[in-house]
Amino acid sequence: MNEQTPAASQALPITGHTRLTGLLGSPVAHSLSPMMHNDSFRELGLDYVYLCFDVDEEHLPDAVRGLRAINVRGFNLTMPDKNRIVDLVDELSPAARLIGACNTVVNDDGHLTGHNTDGIGFMRALQDYGFEAAGKKITILGAGGAASAITAQAALNGAASIHIFARPSSRFHTRTVAMTERINRETSCHAELMDLADRTALKASLSDSDLLVNGTPVGMAPDTDHSLIEDPDDFHEGLFVADAIYHPAETKLLSLARAAGCRTANGLYMLLYQGAAAFRLWTGRDMPTELIKERYFRQAD
């Protein structure tokens, strides 16, 4: 990610009509979101501002009541607030309902609608590489927030089938079982939850999958020597391999897949496009994503 430039730091003047948006979570001081959104507001001449608020789960209900009362336009949520917010909004989008978590809230005159744009962002990033989920078979590793968001959005985008490989001991297991059932009941996609330890089943799933997604933190810096898939024979040239991790830019999984002839992508632009989806929900305008890419994102070749 590139450093903020002096030009990018200039802000529109705050007026009596300025609409407030922001990010709730803990911690939030490291977030790139304020730069992305405030630069986009400035470029489009929109009278909005985006701020960060350090709010944990305990204080989230009070924060949401206050934000509703002062009629903010909307807000994002990061950990640990994404699950708790579900009980505090009036309505859930299809993706948020499938996942059971929200990262974006839209306030329409006091009516709060919870959305989840993480999966939208990931699937949109894959479109930059020419991959569309519709009609495809997908294997997803993990059951946490990123994996669940990607799974649900892939199903909503028309994936034919999704095999989710996760550990039964995961603290997300019960939620993932419920999500899998909702996907099978509410979409045309067939989803199946399988044990990550079942290497025979994983190998069989990969053999005819179009996309493999690592939605776990395995391979993230500083533990970059690890991959949930180590055998080069598990990959085939028709398999697109994507990792939700973006630091390092190429995880061990992606390195092995690239050596096997697979197309690969990391999760960097998921951050950009999930923010762009929230931006459009709040403003009705498209975030100038090419400009934001140039200023703040660096994608490894």
Active-site positions?
82
Angle (nearest 5°) at CA 113 between 100 and 34: 90
What does the DSSP assignment read for the chain?
Answer: -PPPPHHHH--PPP-TTPEEEEEEESS-TT-SHHHHHHHHHHHHT--EEEEEEE--TTTHHHHHHHHHHTT--EEEE-TTSTTGGGGGSSEE-HHHHHHT--SEEEEETTEEEEE--HHHHHHHHHHTTT---TT-EEEEE--SHHHHHHHHHHHHTT-SEEEEEE-TTSTTHHHHHHHHHHHHHHSS-EEEEEETT-HHHHHHHHHT-SEEEE-SSTT-TT-TT--S---GGG--TT-EEEES--SSSS-HHHHHHHHTT-EEE-SHHHHHHHHHHHHHHHHSS---HHHHHHHH-----
Q: How far is CA 132 from the centre of its chain?
A: 16
d(CA 284, CA 301): 32
